[in-house]
Structure 1
């Protein structure tokens, strides 16, 4: 069966109705996406409308056309859809974990097409218009995500795996920790292949992040599975590095706070009566010894904090604790000396030495005053939904 399929370009109708001689004189100019195109020989003017073969217009728009004689149907795919179809191949020969990593890569690079390719057909259908309206880009120039860690991987059943991802947000002038997403991946028969597909993404709400179209944002904590329950933390070297990138800079700052008295601005005019040398700390984030302990216990385990900091610098019955409370204010002993930190931790060299249950050991190189230092082994443990240092840095 042979048919000549024509399409009416309604936007040109008014122009053609003004003068039929315009088309007849071949002076009509058509521009598609800024490129002038020549009308095909089959084009004709009929009842004030310009008719051209549908294949001509689709191909000039960068689309493809397929005609099914048996079904008497035409299928048109736009350039965007062709690109998306090619992206779909990423799901065919991958694992559940690698699919999550691919989605995260799409978030990092703000590629909506890459994110979309990892989703199940149901999620794709629900998010297509939003992705399209955003021109297949997500997020903004800032903030961006960094220090991404796949914190847990729970095999719910053979064809369903649930991942919990933790990450930080950053911009050019600030940094925030505490991002969390729960990603469910299922193995689904998608003709003619069986492939892993992301079926849901639940994100913990925060005021800073621009979430992607495929995420459901929850105001409460994302439901997670603890590594203690799973019996294994299952970290990779890259994830271990991301954990150290979050913990070590904070730990170095804490060593500075307790190694001397110059970490805070103070008001020397405000002192503790009868205790010469103490001055009031002027800092919105540190107004009491309890605030100091909170900062320490966000980085170190309590046992480690007690051995490194509390027993040496905060014990009330010592002659001169470095910090002490007085009348609801925090004071520091300005007579305490201290020295700078000469060690640099080369986190890019970090490698896992071993891991068991909810703990891991990581080895990395150091430098001391820019000279090669000894290798350092750091212990980390997972406690109350976060990774903490369980060993000293010095």
Structure 2
């Protein structure tokens, strides 16, 4: 019975490959996560179209295969792709809908050392730059230091630069096992993009700079 089931699955896959080859206007290459799967077996010729054979039929059977006519190709919906889609949806759900919300989420991300949250609310143009400047625990999205740690953060002032840009002055304190430190300050700039507000810049200030502003 088990062999019979594998026979049916194998037949379905072979049928799919033949159908794709018949309707494709150019050679079709199966791909996973956007990368073309290299052939390990000999190339097959079907109706004058050359296709790459996959290492084993089981690798295809275990994946969900989708045919995109406009791309003339096969895309395997792998677990990695599913995770990417899930993360994109989570980031969209987290996107702030006001300047104040963006400031508060920034405070939360720094205080809780949540690099994933900080990344989600940054303008995509500065994400890599800002994340590279943060202290990130190796192999994780945990930012900052375990000691001293941020004990409190509050928005001290708010300045409207224009209709779509707001600047905040954030005051925070640090703590250690022996006591507290601070206050310290961060200048935070947020900008409206369509219906969402994202952080376009932030910088840590010296106490004198914050007092002067």
User: Which TM class, normalised by the smaller chain length?
Assistant: 0.5 to 0.7
Contact kept? 1:151, 1:166, Cα under 8 Å: yes
Deviation, structure 1 residue 188: 1.2
Match of 2:95 among 86, 91, 97: 91
Distance 1:71 1:158, change over 3 A: same
Deviation, structure 1 residue 103: 1.7
Q: 1:113 matched to which residue of 2?
A: 116
Match of 1:51 among 41, 49, 55: 55
Contact kept? 2:189, 2:202, Cα under 8 Å: yes
Rounded to whole Å, the distance in 1 between the matches of 2:130 and 2:62 is 25
| Bigger Rg, structure 1 or 2 | 1
Rounded to whole Å, the distance in 2 between the matches of 1:121 and 1:52 is 39
Distance 1:121 1:169, change over 3 A: same
Contact kept? 1:182, 1:223, Cα under 8 Å: no
| SS of corresponding position for 1:122 | coil
Deviation, structure 1 residue 68: 3.6
| SS of corresponding position for 2:170 | strand
Greater relative contact order: 1 or 2 (C-alpha under 8 angstroms, separation 6 or more)? 2
Q: Cα RMSD over matched residues?
A: 3.9
Q: Deviations over 1:1-58 (max 9, x none)?
A: 72561624xxxxxxxxxxxxxxxxxxxxxxxxxxxxxxxxxxx9526x97257x8599
| SS of corresponding position for 1:121 | coil
Contact kept? 1:166, 1:179, Cα under 8 Å: yes
Rounded to whole Å, the distance in 2 between the matches of 1:102 and 1:136 is 16
Q: Deviations over 1:334-379 (max 9, x none)?
A: xxxxxxxxxxxxxxxxxxxxxxxxxxxxxxxxxxxxxxxxxxxxxx
TM-score w.r.t. length of structure 1: 0.36
Distance 1:166 1:118, change over 3 A: same
Rounded to whole Å, the distance in 1 between the matches of 2:186 and 2:66 is 41
Q: Greater share of helix residues, 1 or 2?
A: 2
| SS of corresponding position for 1:51 | coil
Rounded to whole Å, the distance in 2 between the matches of 1:129 and 1:158 is 30
Distance 1:133 1:144, change over 3 A: closer
Q: 2:30 matched to which residue of 1?
A: 5
Rounded to whole Å, the distance in 1 between the matches of 2:177 and 2:82 is 36
What runs of 5+ residues in structure 2 fail to find an aligned partner? Answer: 1-18, 21-27, 32-36, 43-52
Distance 1:78 1:136, change over 3 A: farther
Output aligned runs, 1:293-308, within 5 Å. Answer: none
Distance 1:202 1:67, change over 3 A: farther
Q: Deviations over 1:182-228 (max 9, x none)?
A: 11000013xxxx2111100111269xxxxxxxxxxxxx835864xxx
Output aligned runs, 1:147-226, within 5 Å. Answer: 147-189=152-194, 194-204=195-205, 221=209, 225=213
| SS of corresponding position for 1:87 | helix
Deviation, structure 1 residue 82: 3.6
Is 1:137 equivalent to 2:142 in the alignment? yes
Rounded to whole Å, the distance in 2 between the matches of 1:128 and 1:66 is 35
| SS of corresponding position for 2:94 | helix
Q: 2:6 matched to which residue of 1?
A: none
Rounded to whole Å, the distance in 2 between the matches of 1:106 and 1:79 is 25
Distance 1:58 1:158, change over 3 A: farther
| SS of corresponding position for 1:98 | helix
Q: 1:71 matched to which residue of 2?
A: 71
